[in-house]
Amino acid sequence: MVEEMQKIMRLLLFFSLVLLGACSNESTGVEKSDGKIMVTTTIGQIADGVKNIGGDKVEVISLMGPGTDPHLYKATQGDIEKLEKADIIFYNGLHLEGKVLDVLKKINDKKPTYAIGEVISEGSLLEDTEDSSAVDPHIWFDISLWQQALEKVRDGLIEIDPDNEEYYSKNADDYFSELDRLKEYAEEEMAKIPSEQRVLVTAHDAFGYFGAAYNMEVMGLQGLSTESEYGLGDVQELVDLLVERNIKAVFIESSISERSINAVIEGAKQKGHEVTIGGELFSDAMGEEGTEEGTYIGMYRHNVKTITDSLQ
């Protein structure tokens, strides 16, 4: 009796091993045990787009959380593991994630890795005003360009999971309709700012596309990347401009220290010109997960509201 039981147990074990083997052979390396596609992204804006387009078919991990500056960000050992585990990777490119590029390039040979900003035609990209060989990577502030970039997310998911093509296409269409509504809202609101107040002063030049879209002049204390430190000359130049143009509000950014903008406010004060902080904008990083600002649409609306509230 005991012997028979043992025999049955051994048989059961044998069959379960065979079954396990069959399952993992069946997997193309794309689907994980829970059936979801593992997606790793760099910035939260991309992660949010992937969540909207991939829906319940994807598990998304973003390497850079709230308050993280992508220009300075270096990949940790944990990040490399997250990239290794991914089935597919999306990043912005256009040199936004300058210090993670080497890691991304290495992984590029092993699995589908897409720089979604690099699908945008050169003619639509803004040039770096200080270095004509570089382009402005902050494309998510132009809603139409961002939609083009997210089409690459949709296409990448379809390529890796063609069975669900219809699902991804439908989700993308729904999300793009929401983006159209966001664009209408932003255009309507931004148009309310009087012409003499249409100057947006921030810690770094993240808002070039935003300015171009809504006819705002944009000035940042630091250049397109936060890699270069701002100098005393930059502070002085911006102070002079605030005084000269009678600009009353400047904006801090959630991913950049307030120190630089405070130096400008202090400098203006010494010249007898009162400048206030118009509020905090989300530029390169989004808000906390679970909050309105933790989504692309929410952060965009927050920025529009913050800017229009203080410049009207």
Residues that bind Zn ion (CB under 5 A): 206, 284
- The DSSP 8-state label assigned to residue 100 in this structure reads T
SS (H, E, C) 265-309: HHHHHHCCCCCEEEEEECCCCCCCCCCHHHCHHHHHHHHHHHHHH
Which residue, 58 or 285, is less far from Zn ion as judged by CB? 285
Ramachandran region of residue 64, left (φ > 0), alpha (ψ -120 to 50) or beta? beta
Residues 6+ apart with CB under 8 A from 259: none
Is 155 or 205 the residue whose CB approaches Zn ion more closely?
205
Tokens at 263, concatenated:
């130096």
Q: Which of 214, 67, 43 lies closest to 140, judged by CA?
A: 43
Shortest Cβ distance from residue 73 to Zn ion (Å)? Answer: 11
Q: With respect to Zn ion, which residue has the nearer C-beta, 150 or 206?
A: 206
Comparing CB distances to Zn ion, the nearer of 139 and 206 is 206
Cα 296 from Cα 176, distance rounded (Å): 12
In the complex, least distance from residue 138 CB atom to Zn ion, rounded to whole angstroms? 6
Considering only CA atoms, give the Rg of the chain: 24
DSSP letter assigned to residue 171: H
CA 98 from chain center: how many Å?
Answer: 14
> Could you tell me the smallest distance in angstroms from the CB atom of residue 184 to Zn ion?
26
Contact 171, 53 (CB under 8 A): yes
Q: In angstroms, give the least distance from the CB of 215 to Zn ion.
A: 21
In angstroms, give the least distance from the CB of 72 to Zn ion.
10
d(CA 141, CA 137): 10
Question: Minimum CB separation from Zn ion for residue 65, in Å?
Answer: 16
Are the C-beta atoms of 154 and 174 separated by less than 8 Å?
Answer: no
Least Å distance, CB 244 to Zn ion, is 26
Residue with Cβ nearer Zn ion (226 or 295): 226
- Smallest separation, CB 204 to Zn ion (Å): 6
Which residues does 169 contact at the CB level (< 8 Å), separation at least 6?
154, 158
Looking at the Cβ atoms of 59 and 284, the one nearer to Zn ion is 284
Nearer to Zn ion, 69 or 161 (CB): 69
Q: Which is nearer to Zn ion, 48 or 128 (CB)?
A: 128
